[in-house]
Structures are given as structure tokens and as C-alpha cells.
């Protein structure tokens, strides 16, 4: 009997993959330490790993890893604008595209860009544009492509930082770096740099001070370039949350400076292309 060469032959006895899936926790406790050991009501962010220049085909690239959140960003350009009706003789154009890999979330997604990805792309562009000197690149466009490899919380904040590093690695002239930080408010308590479970936890009291906040900050200029707020928070809570996010950005700033310094030193020591 001829065999079917296109069929993937598996073992005769197998088990369902669902048996090996880790069961999610019943809920996030509003009291005591967080699941990963960090403290509540303090600017306690996750350890961050950052590298630049990993994608040789791109003009600039960056990879960031915060906990289990992993993102990769590539920058192309400046190049000539594809559509002539969008050409600006005095200023360049910054385009952003942020997508989630199908395997990045607990629920498998698709390659088609959804509404959340479009919103994140718009927020990413609005956060980066004030820091880029687009008037130096007339009749040109700069493309920023962001890929989320694993979403374990605070993905937009880390995407802003990763895109800023990729632009700097590409040699794009900027006024300052852009750093991002997120916060989750749950009643009278808050958590900085929330995980995926903490972002989706609604808490016992859903009527007062429940929301999320993401801030894009220019540390050298001490200016906010982008802010996104979801949920319902009082004015005092929102003001305190913005200050907390700014403090989180300042904690990340020395690491980003060190990574860029190493990247420049490595590029200066590299042999010239033949």
C-alpha cells in the first residue's frame, strides 16, 4: 500500500497539548507583594535587557526584553516618499507599524492588523514624532516597524523605548530619546510596569480609580511627548500616576545611555566595509 508522504506521522499513543499548558492564576491579590516579587505602590520596574544593531538588513534595529515581554524594532530610511501626494518639501514623514506575532499572546492572533494594533501604531507615532527632527529630511519618509514577540504586559511603553533606540541606532537626528513607562491603578493601590495578568485584573471595586496609564517621556528635555489613559481615575490619581511613570522613565535612562554608548563604540571599532 503506498504511503502518504505529505502526512506528518506521529506516535501511536499521544497526549493532548492542553495537559501541559500552565493554568492561569485565579486572580491578582490586591494586598502584599506581587506575583514576581516586586512591591506595590512603588516605582519597581522589571529588569530590562536591551541590544541594538541586531538586524543587519535594517538601517537601525533594537531588541528589548522586560520580564517576559519581548519586542523587536527595525527602522528603514530615510528614503524617498512612495506616494507623491504625501511628499512634503519642508518636512519628512514618520510612519509606524506595530504588530503582534500570532504566538505573542495567550490567545493566538492573526497576521491581519487588528484595532488594538492600529491604536498602538498611532500612539507610537504620536510619541516619537516630537523627538525626531523631521525638518532635516525633506521629501523623505522614515519607517518604524515594531514586532511584539511576547506580550507579558506594558507592551506599549516598552515599544516606545525600543523604537527610540532603533531610531538612534539608525543615525536619525533626534532632540532626545523617548522612554515609556506604564502604570495600573487598582483602587487606592497601583503597580508600576504591570504584567499581563495585572493589566487585565479588574479588582473587587470596579467603580473607583480603576485604569491604566502609559507615558512617553523625553528625559533630557523633561517633556512628555505622549500620554494614554484608559479607565476612570480622579484628577489627583492621574497626576500622581504621571509623576510615577516619569520616575520610572528616569530609572530606565542610565541603562539606555549605556547601551547606546556601547553600540557607538562597537561601530567605531568595526572595520570599514570593502
Within-domain flag for 87: yes
pLDDT band of residue 61 (cuts 50, 70, 90) is very high
Within-domain flag for 24: no
Backbone angles phi, psi at 145, to 5 degrees: -115, 120
Strand partners, 147: 72, 99
Nearest alpha carbon to residue 62 among 172, 138, 141? 172
CA angle 105, 211, 110 (to 5 degrees): 20
pLDDT at residue 234, rounded to an integer: 87
Euclidean distance between CA atoms 73 and 12, whole angstroms: 43
pLDDT in tens, 215-238: 999 999 999 999 999 888 888 889
Within-domain flag for 19: no
The CATH number linked to 192 is 3.30.230.70
For residue 125, the surrounding DSSP H or E stretch is: helix 115-128
Strands 93-100 and 179-186, sheet pairing: unpaired
Mean pLDDT taken over the chain: 84
Per-residue pLDDT, averaged over 123-129, amounts to: 95
Domain that holds residue 172: 39-269
Per-residue pLDDT for 26 more than 60?
no
The predicted model scores a pTM of 0.84
pLDDT at residue 231, rounded to an integer: 85
Instruction: List CB contacts of 212: < 8 A, sequence separation 6 or more.
Output: 182, 183, 184, 185, 194, 199, 229, 230, 231
Within-domain flag for 58: yes
- CB distance 149 to 71 below 8 Å: yes
Within-domain flag for 9: no
Q: Is it true that the peptide bond before 5 is cis, omega within 30 degrees of 0?
A: no
Within-domain flag for 18: no
pLDDT in tens, 147-160: 999 998 899 999 99
Torsion of CA 192, 193, 195, 198, to 10 degrees: 30
Least confident interval from 48-52, 165-169, 230-234: 230-234
Cell of 64: 528589548
Integer distance in angstroms from the first to the last C-alpha of the chain?
Answer: 58
Within-domain flag for 30: no
The total number of structural domains in the chain stands at 1
Within-domain flag for 16: no
The burial class, CB within 10 Å (0-12 / 13-18 / 19+), for 25 is: exposed
Amino acid at each position: 500500500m503506498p504511503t502518504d508522504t505529505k502526512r506528518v506521522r506521529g506516535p501511536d499513543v499521544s497526549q493532548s497539548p492542553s495537559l501541559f499548558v500552565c493554568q492561569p492564576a485565579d486572580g491578582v491579590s490586591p494586598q502584599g507583594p506581587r506575583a514576581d516579587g516586586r512591591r506595590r505602590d512603588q516605582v519597581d520596574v522589571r529588569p530590562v535587557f536591551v541590544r541594538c544593531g541586531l538586524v543587519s538588513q535594517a538601517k537601525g534595529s533594537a531588541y528589548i526584553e522586560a520580564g517576559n515581554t519581548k519586542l523587536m524594532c527595525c527602522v528603514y530610511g530615510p528614503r524617498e516618499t512612495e506616494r507623491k501626494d504625501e511628499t512634503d518639501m519642508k518636512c519628512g514623514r514618520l510612519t509606524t507599524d506595530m504588530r503582534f506575532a500570532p504566538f505573542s499572546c495567550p490567545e493566538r492572533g492573526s497576521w491581519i492588523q487588528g484595532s488594538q494594533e492600529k491604536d498602538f501604531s498611532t500612539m507610537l507615532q504620536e510619541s516619537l514624532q516630537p523627538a525626531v527632527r523631521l525638518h532635516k529630511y525633506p521629501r523623505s519618509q522614515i519607517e518604524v516597524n515594531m514586532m511584539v514577540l511576547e506580550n507579558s504586559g506594558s507592551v506599549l511603553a516598552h515599544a516606545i523605548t525600543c523604537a527610540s533606540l532603533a531610531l538612534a541606532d539608525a543615525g536619525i537626528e533626534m532632540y532626545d530619546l523617548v522612554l515609556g513607562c506604564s502604570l495600573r491603578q487598582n483602587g487606592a493601590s497601583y503597580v508600576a510596569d504591570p504584567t499581563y495578568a495585572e493589566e487585565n485584573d479588574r479588582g473587587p471595586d470596579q467603580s473607583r480609580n480603576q485604569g491604566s496609564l502609559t507615558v512617553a517621556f523625553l528625559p533630557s528635555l523633561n517633556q512628555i511627548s505622549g500620554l494614554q489613559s484608559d479607565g476612570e481615575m480622579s484628577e489627583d490619581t492621574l497626576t500622581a500616576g504621571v509623576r510615577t511613570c516619569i520616575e520610572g522613565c528616569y530609572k530606565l535612562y542610565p541603562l539606555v545611555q549605556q547601551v547606546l554608548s556601547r553600540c557607538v563604540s562597537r561601530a567605531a571599532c568595526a572595520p570599514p566595509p570593502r
